[in-house]
Amino acid sequence: MDKSIDLYLGKMFVWGTVLATSLIAVGVLGSQNLITMSGIAVFIILPILRVIVLLFDFFRSKDKLMTIVALSVLMIITLSMIVGFYFKNS
Amino acid sequence: MENPQVLLFLAISFASSALGGILGMAGGVFIVPLLTMVVGVDMHTAIKASVVSVIACSCASAGLYLKEKLTHFRLAMILEVATTLGALLGVFFIGSIPDVYLILFFSFILFLSAQQMFAKRNELSFAGNGKSQSWVSKLELHGSYVDREKGRVDYSIDNLPLGMVLMFFAGLVSALLGIGSGVLKIPAMDSALKLPIKVSSATSNFMIGVTAAASAGAYFIQGEINAEIAGPVVLGSVLGSLFGAKILISLKAQRIRVIFVFILLGLAVQMLYSAVKGFIHG
């Protein structure tokens, strides 16, 4: 595995957190729910993006087993969202 | 700010996350009881706001752990298959579970957390029988990290199957109760997989982000996340966790541990009382 991936992901999390927190702060202070929700969406997307980045890294280093594992995690997350979409609570 | 409750949400989540941060755990276990019992937010709404704050705290501290190169990516990814499956099951069932049962379950988890905090970490051992070791080697899971004092520390992974089972339940509990499930992750990481504590903290923090994203993503699509509650709760949590991590260094952990046990027990009794009241009044 590429050693620099730690640093790359670290930067992604730091800047992602700054972006999401700023959006939520602006949304809360200005009572703009749409901006708040976009900040929340950034927070939800960040860890999923991390799985995608690692998936590409495993794929690039021809690590078949881990590529399958990462793909499975992404599929389960997608399935969870589909379940959320079709099984709306009352 | 039009809603005066915003400040209350901010204060509650800040205090919860700071408290959690001091002991190196997420604050969800405090946020949900405080939101429901102090402000009167309904259980489902509190859980769904809290689960976003769990992701936020994971993202906020991930940068630091990654810089120290303590996170075990491969192991995290493998355990995430189990935690996200658990979260998926939680998303499937949460809509059909009445508030009062969730409160009762939450109370049980609080009692369990108090008991766990009372015992010292690493006392339990669930050693594997060696059968899973061929998988551990096949997946190249043995790792190492550089300690500032001890130098290079090599470690191996013990009971992977039991670790996976515990992680599945951690994901389920996280989705159902909106918490980081430290109460299940700690035995999985320390007693079953036998990871060094630093690697365990970094890796489980890394994993909980994805686990909570699996459930929060579904709740987001359902429109079940309330911006007016989740917004200030997430904001307070991020600030609180940064603050708590700073105190972690300057306070003696053992002394606070006793206070925490009492806080957890107090909340557990309160939630049990409110569940029983809920059952009686139907």
Query: pLDDT per residue over B247-256, tens digit each?
Result: 655 555 566 6
Coil vs helix vs strand at B66:
helix
Q: Quick one: which of B64, B75, B264, B62 has its CA closest to B179?
A: B264
Enter the DSSP assignment of B194: -
The number of beta carbons lying within 10 Å of the beta carbon of residue B207 is: 29
The number of beta carbons lying within 10 Å of the beta carbon of residue A88 is: 11
B55 to chain A: which residues are within 8 Å by CB?
43-44, 46-47
Q: Which domain covers residue B98, as residue numbers?
A: 5-281
Enter the DSSP assignment of B42: -
Q: A10–B67: do the CB atoms touch at under 8 Å?
A: yes
Distance of alpha carbon A66 from its chain centroid, rounded?
18
HSE-up (13 A, CA, CB side) for residue B82: 19
What is the number of domains present in chain B?
Answer: 1
pLDDT tens, position by position, for chain B (282 residues)?
Answer: 456 789 999 999 999 988 877 766 668 889 999 999 999 999 999 999 999 999 999 999 888 888 888 888 899 999 999 999 999 999 999 989 999 999 999 999 999 988 887 776 555 666 666 666 777 777 778 888 887 777 888 888 888 889 999 999 999 999 999 998 888 887 888 888 888 888 888 888 889 999 999 999 999 999 999 999 999 999 999 999 888 777 655 555 566 677 778 888 999 999 999 999 988 886
Judge contact between B7 and B160, C-beta under 8 A. no
On whether any CB of chain B is under 8 Å from the CB of A43, the answer is: yes
Enter the DSSP assignment of B11: H
On whether any CB of chain B is under 8 Å from the CB of A14, the answer is: yes
Q: A84–B91: do the CB atoms touch at under 8 Å?
A: yes
For chain A positions 47-86, those within 8 Å of chain B (CB to CB) are 47-48, 50-51, 54, 65-66, 69-70, 72-73, 76-77, 79-81, 83-85
> What's the pLDDT tens digit per position in A79-88?
999 998 887 6
For B247, the token pair is 């105190």
The alpha-helical segments, DSSP class H, found in B152-196 are 160-177, 182-186
User: Roughly how many angstroms between the first and final C-alpha of chain B, as a whole number?
Assistant: 37
Enter the DSSP assignment of B120: P
> What's the pLDDT tens digit per position in A18-67?
999 999 999 999 999 999 999 999 999 999 999 999 999 999 999 999 99
Q: Which amino acid is at A37?
A: M
In this predicted structure, what is the pLDDT of residue A90? Answer: 44
Q: Which residues pair with B118 in a beta bridge?
A: none
